Chain A
């Protein structure tokens, strides 16, 4: 039984092969499921996501999407970078529509399709505003909507909540967990925040290594997080604390 998105034995490098960043990275995620990749800053998390997205090619290994080899092919998996990267010269709705209009959908049709989703993404009323007029949390929601309109069921998220204040972060994280299940997305989230990883993911991959010091990173542990039916109280439960403790023990 294969998963929807799979990475098999990826080896990644910086400077075209001079520095090996990560070795033997394998992970898998199904639709409606979120997994997290946790590691300290500088251990190569973004490089891994870059390779999964197809923007760069791994030295070794494959990325499989629904069984198809998509290694080094951008455009098949949605990728949300750390910054919201909304284009300042487009109104929020046109920013959200960007993947559609780039694919040749007419502006009116694209706007129509996006408009229906604004309420669902908590963005109603912001359609005609410029990005600079929105708060960080709202901008991030708009970036989520744009990512969703890329139309792929597999989504990569690079520290999507790190630039937000603590309250907005918790709120948006819960909202995303809910949306990801509802939309049936297979999400891979990278973060250095163990709390965030455990509260979002059903499985946490712990990445360890020091590539700039000559030690390529690798996945040292895979921690399954038992998710109770009601997510609300989970963050105060023993299961949550146990999972956190286990992730910390592997992070070293």
Chain B
């Protein structure tokens, strides 16, 4: 029963796994089992990270800017779509399959087209991020709206609530949890989307920097970028978790109650 494990041990297990993995990697490279020009050791990656820090930071700013802009627009678009699809059944029927199909198109396939149409500037990158991030938000919100108990809506109607009140006071807050789980996915897409868009052309950004590193065979620096991208994605997800905690204070009480029930 993993659920009953103490918190410390739940942290210790993955950390120990990671430590073992890194040790094996370091030893494998140092012992020469893997040629060093193909695979840098973890310590070399750390050194590269420190050495490249100012450069990484300046490229990260561009990537973060694109991601933030794209994610914001994507969330707004996703939100508007979800509200309209919930309000008008015909829009739900019309758009739901199209939106799903649109998500089967690989990002790497449309990215070159966007560059072709909109050039090497900010626009194609932001657009690509919007296209990938609006979907999780729309889907999670629509399903959140649709899973609201119809009895709640009936109850509100017996209290003479208007449609706007039913939406703002009941449906929207009740769909919050699903919205945030969608937003969490969107956030990871945002950084990755920005990097992919930058691969195909641009003047700065972590993706642009990566293509330069690849051409110069600087694999240690390349790994450093990968670590930075992961860290940024994780930080963004953590930020969204914090935001969801602030927006839904009742969730903390629910978790606590569940925990007490479990202990009892």
Q: Determine if A55 and B257 form an interchain contact, defined as CB atoms under 8 angstroms apart.
A: no
Q: Is the CB of A85 within 8 A of B149?
A: yes
Q: CB distance B158 to A53 under 8 Å?
A: yes
Which residues on B sit within 8 Å (CB–CB) of A83?
A: 149, 151
Contacts of B253 in A (CB 8 A): 129-130, 132-133
Q: How far is the CA of A250 from the CA of B169 in the complex (A)?
A: 44
Contact between B151 and A85, CB atoms less than 8 A apart: yes
Given contacts A87-B170, A132-B250, A133-B253, contact A102 B152 (CB under 8 A): no
B155 within 8 A of A: yes
Q: Is the CB of A87 within 8 A of B257?
A: no
Judge if A99 is at the interface, Cβ distance under 8 Å. yes
Closest Cβ of chain B: how far from A130's Cβ, in Å? 4
Choice from A54, A88, A98, A131 contacting B169 with Cβ under 8 Å: A98
Interface centre among B151, B158, B174, B253 (most CB of A within 10 A): B158
* Bound-complex Cα distance A87 to B165 (A): 14
Interface residues on B, range: 20 to 34
Complex Cα distance, B161 from A55, in Å, reads: 12
Q: Is the interface of B mostly helix, strand, loop or mixed?
A: helix
Select from chain A the residue with minimum beta-carbon distance to B257: A132
Q: How far apart sit A78 and B158, CA to CA, in the bound complex (Å)?
A: 7
Residues on the B chain within 8 Å of A99, using CB:
159
Whether B154 pairs with A81 at a CB distance below 8 angstroms is yes
Q: Within the complex, what minimum Cβ distance (angstroms) separates A182 from chain B?
A: 23
Query: Shortest Cβ distance from A208 into chain B, in angstroms?
Result: 26
Pairwise interchain contact A87-B173, C-beta atoms closer than 8 A: yes
Chain B residues with Cβ below 8 Å from A130 are 250, 253-254
Please tell me if the beta carbons of A55 and B250 are within 8 angstroms of each other in the complex: no
The reply to whether B156 and A102 contact each other, CB–CB distance below 8 Å, is yes
The chain A residue sitting closest to B157, CB to CB, is A74
Do A74 and B165 touch across chains, with their CB atoms under 8 A apart? no
The count of residues in chain A whose C-beta lies closer than 8 Å to any C-beta of chain B is 27
Residue-wise interface mask of A (65-86) relative to B, using a CB-CB cutoff of 8 A (1 in contact, 0 not): 0000000001101110111010
**Interface of chain A, main secondary structure:** loop
Max chain A Cβ within 10 angstroms of own Cβ: one of B151, B154, B165: B154
Is A132 touching B254 in the complex (CB atoms < 8 A)?
Answer: yes
Chain B neighbourhood of A132, CB < 8 A: 250, 253-254, 257
B246 lies within 8 A of chain A by Cβ: no
Is A103 part of the binding interface, using a Cβ–Cβ cutoff of 8 Å? yes
Give the nearest-CB partner of B258 in chain A. Answer: A132
Minimum CB–CB distance from B174 to chain A (whole Å) comes to 7
A150 neighbours in B (Cβ, 8 Å): 158-159
* Cα distance A54–B157 in the bound complex, in angstroms: 9
Q: Which residues of A contact B165 (CB under 8 A)?
A: 102
Q: In the assembly, what is the distance between CA of A89 and CA of B248, in Å?
A: 7
CB of B147 to closest CB in A, whole Å: 13
Closest residue of B by beta carbon distance from A151: B159
* A89 near B176: Cβ-Cβ < 8 Å: yes
Q: Does B160 belong to the interface (CB within 8 Å)?
A: yes
Separation of A90 and B155 alpha carbons in the complex (Å) = 15
Given A85-B151, A87-B173, verify A75-B248 contact (CB < 8 Å).
no
Decide if B169 touches A74 in the complex (CB within 8 Å). no
Q: Mark A102-132, 1 if CB is under 8 A from B, else 0.
A: 1100000000000000000000000001111
A131 to B152 Cα, complex, angstroms? 15
Q: Contacts A89-B250, A132-B250, A133-B257 known; A79 to B155 CB distance under 8 Å?
A: yes
For B159, the chain A residues whose CB sits under 8 A away are 75, 98-99, 102-103, 150
B173 neighbours in A (Cβ, 8 Å):
87, 89
Query: B158 and A85: CB pair below 8 A?
Result: no
Using Cβ atoms and an 8 Å threshold, which residues of chain A touch B161? Answer: 102
Q: How far is the CB of A237 from chain B (nearest CB, A)?
A: 37
The 9 residue pairs across chains A and B that have the minimum distance between CB atoms: A75-B160, A89-B173, A132-B254, A130-B253, A79-B158, A130-B250, A99-B159, A102-B161, A74-B157
Give 11 new A-B contacts, CB below 8 A, not counting A83-B149, A102-B159.
A79-B154, A81-B154, A85-B152, A85-B155, A98-B159, A103-B159, A130-B253, A131-B250, A132-B253, A132-B257, A150-B159
Name 21 A/B residue pairs within 8 A (Cβ), A-sorted: A53-B158, A55-B154, A55-B157, A74-B158, A74-B160, A75-B158, A79-B158, A81-B151, A82-B151, A83-B149, A83-B151, A89-B176, A89-B250, A98-B159, A98-B169, A102-B156, A103-B160, A129-B253, A130-B254, A132-B257, A150-B158
